[in-house]
Chain A
């Protein structure tokens, strides 16, 4: 497999990182958690981050950590959806369609929570004060995040982005047909 530095990929797909951080921030706002600093994108690690107060409930902490997964996936699919047909089915795509696919894939591929996010969910899972159901729910989430993080070495995030941009439209069409 050819080697492309991850920073190059990140620079190319920066809209996804911005949306990822906005998702953290919006989930904080939703749960009324004060935010002290937001870096939406920078050309060094971490590429973006949000500093906020500890959430009132453990479930809120989990949701703030995994929020980008939902927002990035939803937005990525929604943006790519109308362009997926012309690009992948009809071969009559316009430049706008290609741009929508780029944007959709960029946003969807940054849906995975980071290992930092996983650390917060793990802390929740390990805490004895956390209700049993949330602990049971948290461990698989942590496992999945680490798995996805490991998978990034094999372009899993890119494949996920393409899967969202191509797979969801195909699924919708199949369900409608």
Chain B
């Protein structure tokens, strides 16, 4: 296409030199002596002139326009790169089912990219699997009745909508609550569960009531039915894990924790509970990985701090356990008192793990 012709100058040079009487004169101005040692006989001034061969005004204007565009581009560049990096990190975390990280990265990208449908869809997905249901509700409203062009993202969003539906209070459950003024008896829940087996809100509440009444086997049965039909229902799996702990079945609890971790590798409850159940099974080395991962993700909650303290205790590392226990006892929220007392009790030997 474009061409550079470095040697064509020689032809021009020959024509020019043939016109001059003295070959030592500049071929351009034909007045001053040419500088020696160059292929073209040019005087110093003419050489300098040709080195700085004038660029036409229209090309200068073109260059200025390109330069202006480059400056504009440079102005937007840091923002775009930052946004792109957060989005890429979020997508990678989402692909690896690390939804806490994905959510965090998408939130950072959202600062520079508000109102973007695809980002909102990603935020919806991440918030559903991270268990941030308030946020899921918010982003669910933002993306409802809008078409996501990316088919893969649309499929993932539809699955997340289904999963989010598990945590939404159904009309059936609301009616029951209104009918019994908030205190739904087990018999009514059992009837409703038999009548509407696909109503997971009813089933979950029924299993929860059974759990609260120490009817663990029955609770486990209801939860198993739910989990078989809705394997991504994290609330049901969490409860199933808690039921397994109460039934002194730590291996089963670990199984449910792994199911939760398959959904979200950064599920704080699952990591912490898995570590505690592995400790119960005597697998101290295996317990270290989930306990440390959990503590890395959340080093401020009583549950993860307590798990870490328990791990240190069973590793006979009281030097590390003690400061954590002290911090837990001093800084914990009132609602975490029983959790803290439990950990302190286990470490003091007044309570079994």
Contact = CB atoms under 8 A, between A and B. Distances in A.
Partners in one complex: yes
Contacts of B214: none
B118 A78 contact: no
Given A35-B53, A177-B85, A50 B118 contact: no
B42 to A, nearest CB: 6
Interface string B223-247: 0000000000000000000000000
A170 to B, nearest CB: 9
Contact of A79 (B7, B56, B70): B70
Contact of A82 (B5, B66, B76, B92): B76
Interface residues of B, number: 48
Given A19-B66, A34-B40, A78-B74, A29 B4 contact: no
B301 interface: no
A63 to B, nearest CB: 11
B4 A114 contact: yes
B77 A53 contact: no
Interface in A18-41: 18-22, 24-25, 28-29, 32-36, 38, 40
A75 B117 CA distance: 31
B42 A36 contact: no
Contacts, number: 165
Contact of A117 (B4, B42, B52): B4
A89 B84 contact: yes
Given A85-B84, A103-B69, 11 more contacts: A19-B66, A22-B59, A28-B51, A29-B53, A34-B40, A35-B53, A38-B55, A81-B80, A100-B69, A120-B4, A176-B81
Interface of A: 6, 10, 15, 17-22, 24-25, 28-29, 32-36, 38, 40, 45-56, 61, 64-65, 68, 75, 78-79, 81-86, 89-92, 96, 100, 103, 110, 114, 116-117, 120, 152, 169, 172-174, 176-177
